[in-house]
Structure 1
Amino acid sequence: MKAIILCAGYGTRMEPYTDNIQKAMIPVHKKPLLEYIIEGVKSTGIKDFIIVVGYRKEDIINHFKDGSDYGINIEYVEQENLNGTGGALLLCESKIKQDHFFLSWGDILVPHRIYQKAIDLYEEENEDFVLVTNYVDDPYKGCAIYTDNGGIYLEDMVEKPPKGTSESNFNNCGIFVFSKDIFETLREIEISKRGELEIPKAIKLGLLEKDWKIRVVKMKKDAFRGDFGDKNAYEKLNANSNWLERLRK
């Protein structure tokens, strides 16, 4: 199985830290953020990576090169037109030869066991689609995730629900296992008002119109999740190193 990591965006919410460096390469306790993500995914046994680059692509390519120094193989795909996560993923289609692949946003850190749980559900329980969620007080900044009565499979997802309206405390974490069916479905969805193809919209189409069964991993309320989506979160995580031990558990 190959892993795709999306690292093309500008990281505008991380300014001024991203003025002169790609967001995935910002230093976190003397090591690039992306290096932690790669370590976590590699811990599952995955060795083949595709990194989607764009803004300041040389920051990533010059650091990781072909991945051999890290015991992995890296291919790079450039997203010249930053047309969303779905647009980035479609650029990787020709490089995915197996029926399934792993996907992660390039600004999220979770414990190694969470990556492993997602892979185990695919390998041991034959789940075609796996979506990882994290607990939040209110998912209004992200994507609210609703599950069936058993809390196992996805029932609905609502992108950026108005603050205080969500009945779910679970948020799309940005970590997935996908069947290759996602590519065809991405070509069927409409471009958003922001001019982007959005992966969550494709997931919802597959759920509602194609009878996809999407297994949900629910991270516990107290589980560590490092969100580097804005500078305030980054500053807090970079000021305290206690959480580093929790990554490898």
Structure 2
Amino acid sequence: MTKTLIILAGGTSSRMKRSESARLSDSVKHQADTISKALIPVNNRPILDYLLYNAKMAGIKNVIIVTGADNSMFKDRYGKESKGNAFHGLTISYAIQHIPAGKNKPMGTADAVHQALEQYPGVQQEFFLVCNCDNLYSVESFNTLIENNDSNAFINYDRDTLKYSAERIANFAITRVNADGYLMDIIEKPSDIDMARNKSGGDSTRVSMNLWKFYGPQFYAFLETCPVHPERDEKELPTAVLNMIKVYPRCMKAISFSEHVPDLTGKEDIAVLNDYLSTHYSHLDWTN
């Protein structure tokens, strides 16, 4: 059973810095511009607290948080040691996503996972989960991946159940799945023809929200060899996944889910999350 979760929190949050919201105080806006999205307070605590809570409720035991080189604010909250910190029944460790010489930003999500596995080589031989730091995935979604018997799997969300703006949803890459439920393709910037051709589960268009289960011995090589995206200058997790399914065509199971995923992409999401969390997470009972 999968017990390890890698949380990607080393990005630069460029979309957060570009965004604006009239509903926020100047101090909250300043925090949003200067600290990791994972640590931005929503409903009086970092969004990462809620993500860790849901992961623990689903049965996760070990968490590796991938951060930038300066992770002092993470350590102030989740434990001072580089590895093995106790936090409400979880064991929290950190991996640093180092920026290569000559570059001015991290090299993407595939690079983040690769660096985490290099720093924790034991995980290369295990099943593990990967997720973003700024999406609040449900207990049910984590639990489904933990209990899943496939070597690799991901949560394949019904696009119509995501409560984001139509403009934002229109920019999501869509997934193509075969009749047996295995991933065949991830299509960026889909056309209307792509949308019509790639509806799955009857009439649903589905998308990945970057919640994955991987089998280290099978996936690691594709992280090592993941190419750099020519426009974004990053090594992206979907690219590594697509390269893996070219070699192993039935290795990535798509698990259909129909629910919203609260997230923290821009400043406008902070007030929305405050309202949501005050209703649904008024108290975190870590003892359950």
Under a length normalisation based on structure 1, what TM-score does the superposition of the two structures give? 0.86
In structure 2, distance between residues paired with 1:163 and 1:55: 42
Indicate whether 1:141 and 2:164 are aligned: no
Amino acid of the structure 2 residue aligned with 1:13: R
* Alpha-carbon offset, residue 237 of structure 1: 2.0
Instruction: Report the equivalent of 2:113.
Output: 89
Instruction: Report the equivalent of 1:175.
Output: 211
Amino acid of the structure 2 residue aligned with 1:166: M
Look at both structures and tell me which one has the larger radius of gyration over its CA atoms: 2
Indicate whether 1:2 and 2:8 are aligned: no
* Alpha-carbon offset, residue 165 of structure 1: 4.9
Q: How many residues are treated as equivalent by the alignment? A: 240
In structure 2, the residue corresponding to 1:149 is in which secondary structure?
A: coil
Amino acid of the structure 1 residue aligned with 2:220: F
* Alpha-carbon offset, residue 163 of structure 1: 7.5
- Map 1:213-224 → 2, pairs under 5 A: 213-220=251-258, 223-224=259-260
In structure 1, the residue corresponding to 2:145 is in which secondary structure?
A: helix
8 Å Cα contact 1:189-1:201 kept in structure 2:
yes
Amino acid of the structure 2 residue aligned with 1:158: I
Instruction: Report the equivalent of 2:137.
Output: 110
8 Å Cα contact 1:12-1:18 kept in structure 2:
no
Instruction: Report the equivalent of 1:186.
Output: 223
Write 1 or 2 for the structure with the bigger share of strand.
1
- Map 1:5-154 → 2, pairs under 5 A: 5-15=7-17, 16=29, 17-54=31-68, 57-65=71-79, 67-81=85-99, 82-94=106-118, 95=120, 96=123, 98-121=125-148, 126-137=149-160, 139-150=169-180, 152-154=181-183
CA RMSD of aligned residues (A): 2.4
Instruction: Report the equivalent of 2:23.
Output: none
Render the CA deviation track for 1:27-55: whole Å, top value 9, x for unaligned.
11112111111111112222111110017
Amino acid of the structure 1 residue aligned with 2:176: Y
Amino acid of the structure 1 residue aligned with 2:135: I
Render the CA deviation track for 1:198-221: whole Å, top value 9, x for unaligned.
11011111112333421112211x
Render the CA deviation track for 1:1-35: whole Å, top value 9, x for unaligned.
32110001121222245223211011111121111
Bigger CA drift: 16-25 or 135-144? 135-144
* Alpha-carbon offset, residue 116 of structure 1: 0.2
* Alpha-carbon offset, residue 128 of structure 1: 0.4
Under a length normalisation based on structure 2, what TM-score does the superposition of the two structures give? 0.75
Indicate whether 1:161 and 2:190 are aligned: yes
Render the CA deviation track for 1:115-136: whole Å, top value 9, x for unaligned.
1011111xxxx30001112222
Within the candidate set 222, 235, 242, 2:279 is matched to 242
* Alpha-carbon offset, residue 175 of structure 1: 0.7
Structure 2 residues not aligned, in runs of 5+: 18-28, 100-105, 161-165, 200-204
In structure 1, distance between residues paired with 2:107 and 2:124: 24
Amino acid of the structure 2 residue aligned with 1:159: E
In structure 2, the residue corresponding to 1:218 is in which secondary structure?
A: strand
Amino acid of the structure 1 residue aligned with 2:114: L
Structure 1 residues not aligned, in runs of 5+: none
Bigger CA drift: 226-235 or 189-198? 226-235
8 Å Cα contact 1:54-1:80 kept in structure 2:
yes
Change in CA separation of 1:127 and 1:92 when aligned onto 2, cut-off 3 Å? same
